[in-house]
Each structure stands twice: as C-alpha cells, then as structure tokens.
Amino acid sequence: MALSSMPDFTFKHMEQPDKLVDSPAANKEKFDSRGNEIRNYINSSLVPEILQAKQQIQQIDNKGAESIPITDTGNHFTATNVEGALEELFTSVSDGKNQVAAAITDKGVPASGSDTFGQLAGKIGEINTGVTPAGTAVVGDVLSGKTFINSTGSTLTGTMPNRGAVSITPSASAQTIQAGYHNGSGQVAAVTFDASKVLTGSTIAGTPGTMPNRGAVSITPGTTNQTIQAGYHSGSGVVQGSPNLLPANIRNGVDIFGVIGNLAGVKLKSIQVIPVSNLFGRYQTAAVTIPTAVDTTKAFILNNVISSERSAPLHGCTAYFRDSTVIELERGSIENSIFYGTGNIYVVEFSEGVTVQSGYSTTNPTITAVDTSKSFIITSTCVKAGSSQVNTADIECNAYFYSPTELRFGRYSEPWKRAWFVVSFT
C-alpha cells in the first residue's frame, strides 16, 4: 500500500529526520531503511537466543523431572531433584498410612494402608476404648458452646446461659436470680441503714434492729410535760381524756389543753381589815377611811364593832359605804347610855363572779332583780329610842327576799335604820 502522507509520525533514528515528509518516495525510502535494520537485528540477535531456549526445553522433555534440581532449605529430602523428592514424599505418606492402618487394626477394627484418609478417620471413631460413658449431664447442665459425651456415648453441646458477672441491688420485693453460669464476680449491693430505726426483733440483711417496741402507751395529762419515749408505738396508745374538760368547768379565759373556759366563778380580790376603838358617844356617827379604794358593786362590809359598856348591845351600829374610800358608821342609843365603839371592820372585795347591791334605809328597799337561789343578804342595825324597855331581841331583826326585787325586814316598832348588802353570784 502506497503511503501518501503521515503527519506528525516520529521515528526514533539518529541518522534520519524523524518527521515524515510530503514525498511518498522519500517516505518509502525511510520505511525501507527501518525494515532492513529490524530484519538484521532479529537475524543477528533474537533468533539465536530463541533457538537455544528451544534446545534446552527439548532436553528437559527428553530427560524428565529428575533433571530439575530443587533447593531443600529444611533438609526434608535426601534427593536433589523434583523426581526424587516426589518419590520420597510418596513413600513417607504411604508408610504413615500403613502404620495408622496397622494401629487401627490392632484395636479390633480392620484397616488398610490403601484406605483413604477419610476412611481411616471413620474407623478410628469405631475403636472401642473399653470405657463406658456414664455421665448424667444434660445440655442444660453444660455451658453454652461447650461439648460433652453423655451416657449414650453421643457428643452433645451445652445450652447453659453464661450470665457472667451479675449485680443485684436489693429492693422491697424478691428478685429472681436467672438460671445459668455466674463467673463469681457478680455482687449483691450492700444494705446500709441505721439499726436504731428498725424495730427490735426485725433483721435486715443480717443486722438486727434496736428500736424499742413501746406497744400501746397510755398518757394521763398533768401539770407538767411528760416525755414520750423514743421507739415504736403500735398506734393503740392514747392520751387520756376527761368528760369534765368542758368550757363550763373551766374558769373564764383559762386555757386547759386548748379548751377555753367560760365559767365565771368567784375570784376574791382582797379582804381589808380596819381596826377601830372609842369611836363615838351618844347619837354619833363616824367615818372610817378604807386603806385601798374598792369597787362598791363588788364589795361588802362585815361589821364587828362592839360596845365598851355592858348595855351597849342594846344600841346597835350600822356600817355602809359612803363612797369607794370611806365607810360610814352610825350608832343608836337607849336613854343616856354611852357607846364606845371598838373592834374590826372587814371589807371583802371580789374581782369577778360576784355583784353587790347595797344601801342604808328605814324601809323595805327595792333592788335590781336577782336570782335569789344565788344571792344572800348581810345587814347591820341601829335603834334610836328613849325607852329603856327595848331589848336586844327587838333590836336584832331578820332580813329576807320578799321577791327578786324587794327585801323585807322584821323589826321592832322603835325607829330603826339598817345598812344592807345583797351579794349575788353570777
């Protein structure tokens, strides 16, 4: 085929330009020149080497494997070529199989060196060792993945789960320990507590409680605090109550165990004692100062003034409040007798629970209505008369409630005056 043009074609030749030209003749000359050079190189260099290699291969084919040398760095063979080494290897394997077959035959199972390795392995398993398997384990008794032979002589694989190291934290309910193998590193967490907070007779994690059992404690309230002893109380203990713990039984305003009293009651404030002596002559009055002022609506007078002469009891003496700080005393007389008053005056005052009405009169007085079942009368009397026939019994007279609003006095016909007090309990 003619070459017309080969742009950019490059020859690697030192004597001619590499690039092809537009002249076919010139390019042909270039190719012819290269072709001659290649032919000369093949004939002079490659052909002799190929012929020599062919001759060596032919020699190996003629002589066989015994002509191929080996390098035995482990000194396993005495032969120095492939053929000899293969013969030694075959002899060694054959001798080994014969020896194994003989050993199997000696154990009562016929075997031959011509048997395959698989056949020899099967016959080894048929050998009777003289030991009868007697194990009682089942697969659940042997760790999972481990094999064993049971009493039937069968090889079995265990199924017991491997639990490893199990940790258990105690709680209020029982926790099942799962079946399986435990490696000994598992733990039950320690139980720590204050034994004094656990009832005696109870044991937690081997530690007995020390809290005393107080059972049912009964407490009767008193005027002082009573210590409730530490320990367990069953809930049947009581603090004793009283049906009399009522407001009506407690003084007004007093708090007893949370019950506020409303019982008015009577509360004595004071008793003032006023000694007197030689107070009057005939027809005289006398004023006595009360050391401490009193509330006359809550106080009354007990008059204990007597005469210093024998006939004095016929005269009498009244005592009444002029005001909160003065007591007025007035004596009576019979003819010309002289009365020298001597004795004690008692002023009794209450702070609560009592009201007092008082007066000084010659007639039956009218009072603010009272509960006569809770009131009493105190009187003192004097008689002004000129007759010597008046006697003590006539001077003294009784006083009584004619009605809740009126007092009545029994009296002699002589002129008379009385001081009176109506004391009522509220």
Q: Is the pLDDT of residue 41 over 60?
A: no
How many helices (H) and strands (E) would you count in the chain? Answer: 5, 26
CA distance 208 to 206: 6
Q: Is the pLDDT of residue 294 over 90?
A: yes
pLDDT digits (tens, 9 = 90+) for 219-277: 988 889 999 999 899 888 899 988 998 998 888 889 998 899 888 778 899 999 999 88
Between 162 and 339, the higher pLDDT residue: 162
What pLDDT sits at residue 407?
A: 93
**Cα–Cα distance measured from residue 424 to residue 355, given in angstroms and rounded to the nearest whole number:** 5
Task: Give tens-digit pLDDT for 137-175.
Answer: 888 889 998 988 777 666 788 999 999 899 988 888 888
Residue type, 339: F
Tell me: pLDDT of 189 over 90.
no
**CA-to-CA distance for 29 and 90, rounded, in angstroms?**
66
Mean pLDDT of 30-48: 61
Identity of the highest mean pLDDT range in 59-73, 94-108, 205-219, 372-386? 205-219
The secondary structure of 276-332 as a DSSP string is E-S---TT-EEEEE-SS---TTSEEEEEEEE-SSTTGGGTBEEEEESSSSEEEEEE-
- Please check the confidence at residue 278 and state whether its pLDDT lies above 60: yes
Instruction: Give the pLDDT confidence score for residue 276 in this predicted structure.
Output: 85
Other C-beta atoms within 10 Å of 375: how many?
18
- Closest CA relative to residue 365, chosen from 323, 397, 327, 409: 409
Q: Could you state, in order of their start, the residue ranges of all structural domains in the chain?
A: 267-425
Say what percent of the chain tops pLDDT 70.
67
User: Nearest-CA neighbor of 363 among 411, 328, 421?
Assistant: 411
d(CA 249, CA 66): 139
pLDDT attached to residue 339:
55
Task: Show the tokens assigned to 203.
Answer: 């044991």
The Cα–Cα gap between 333 and 281 comes to 9
Rounded to whole angstroms, how far apart are CA atoms 83 and 67?
8
Mean pLDDT computed over every residue of the chain = 78
Q: Are strands 285-289 and 267-276 parallel, antiparallel or unpaired?
A: unpaired
Task: Name the DSSP class of 364.
Answer: P
Taking the CB of residue 266, how many other CB atoms lie within 10 A of it? 12
User: Does the structure show a pLDDT above 90 at 116?
Assistant: no
The confidence band for 8, taking pLDDT boundaries of 50, 70 and 90, is very low
Cα separation of 381 and 394, whole Å? 11
Residue 91 DSSP SS3: helix
Backbone φ, ψ for residue 374 (5° rounding): -125, 25
Share of the chain above pLDDT 90, in %: 25
What pLDDT band is residue 85 in, cutting at 50, 70 and 90?
low
Q: Residue 369: what pLDDT?
A: 98
